């Protein structure tokens, strides 16, 4: 389905490389953070024609299990999921178009309150050197416009910007970020926003398909407590 649209969850995103283990039609993703949380996702590809099934869960959160079913067509992508707990969250998304331009929408339904937990829509335009996206998010409350440009440089420099406009309050937010390769195994990412926050992330592939990520964030507006946060995460090949 290389010429078809990506699922709605991928609108506004570009693939960042595999951090997983693949064997035949099975893909296993495992991530561990500094709080000893283990995030696992097992995907069965091509279970039936153009379909794949994924089971995801977090340890020790026994209520985090979720089952996803995805269908890909040359001009459409449909994704549905249900939470594996006594009060499951139901989600459905769909996208139509091609690999160059696509549009889609998603809805989430809370079975406990019998109400919609989310509904978003978006359109994206992709080319080899850039990607532009317009999203209506937060139940129609926020309009987001984003642009990603891939600079033709040996280090693979990528520059991205996002403008978010809150329709109810006319509040605007602006964020800019960069990503570049220091060497074939190390990627450096930065992010700055107009609310005084700056973030830094360094990813190192210490063995094939396994990453260690160091991150830091500084909030210049925080008066009480430490304005800086630090993190460490692992993405492991089983």
CATH of the domain at 202: 2.40.160.10
Split into its structural domains, the chain has a count of: 1
Helix (H, G, I), strand (E, B) or coil at 185: coil
Judge whether 3 lies within some domain: no
At 32-44, the pLDDT tens digits run 665 666 777 787 8
Q: Are the beta carbons of 125 and 100 closer than 8 angstroms?
A: yes
Residue that has been written with the tokens 């389905």 in this structure: 1
Q: With 0-12 CB in 10 A as exposed, 13-18 as middle and 19+ as buried, what is 57?
A: middle
Q: Would residue 27 count as lying in a domain?
A: yes
Checking if the pLDDT of 204 tops 70, the result is yes
Q: How does pLDDT run across 3-54, given as a tens digit for each residue?
A: 666 666 666 655 444 344 555 677 777 776 656 667 777 878 776 666 778 8
Domain extent for 24: 8-236
């Amino acid at each position: 389905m290389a010429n078809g649209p990506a699922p709605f969850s991928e609108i506004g995103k570009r693939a960042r490389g595999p951090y997983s283990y693949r064997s035949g039609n099975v893909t296993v993703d495992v991530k561990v953070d500094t709080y000893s949380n283990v995030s696992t996702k097992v995907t069965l590809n091509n279970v039936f024609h153009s379909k794949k099934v994924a089971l995801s869960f977090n340890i020790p959160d026994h209520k985090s299990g979720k089952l996803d079913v995805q269908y890909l067509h040359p001009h459409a992508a449909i994704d549905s999921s249900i939470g594996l707990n006594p009060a499951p969250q139901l989600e459905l998304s769909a996208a139509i178009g091609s690999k160059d331009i696509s549009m889609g929408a998603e809805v989430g339904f809370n079975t406990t309150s019998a109400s919609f937990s989310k509904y978003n829509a978006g359109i994206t335009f992709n080319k080899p050197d850039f990607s532009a996206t317009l999203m209506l998010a937060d139940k129609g409350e926020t309009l987001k416009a984003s642009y990603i440009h891939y600079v033709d440089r040996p280090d693979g420099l990528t520059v991205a910007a996002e403008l978010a406009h809150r329709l109810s309050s006319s509040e605007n937010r602006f964020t800019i970020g960069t990503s570049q390769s220091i060497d074939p195994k190390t990627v450096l990412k930065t992010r700055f926003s107009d609310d005084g926050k700056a973030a830094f992330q360094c990813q190192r592939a210490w063995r094939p398909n396994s990453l260690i990520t160091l991150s830091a964030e500084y909030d210049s507006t925080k008066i009480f407590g430490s304005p800086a946060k630090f993190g460490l995460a692992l993405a492991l090949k089983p």
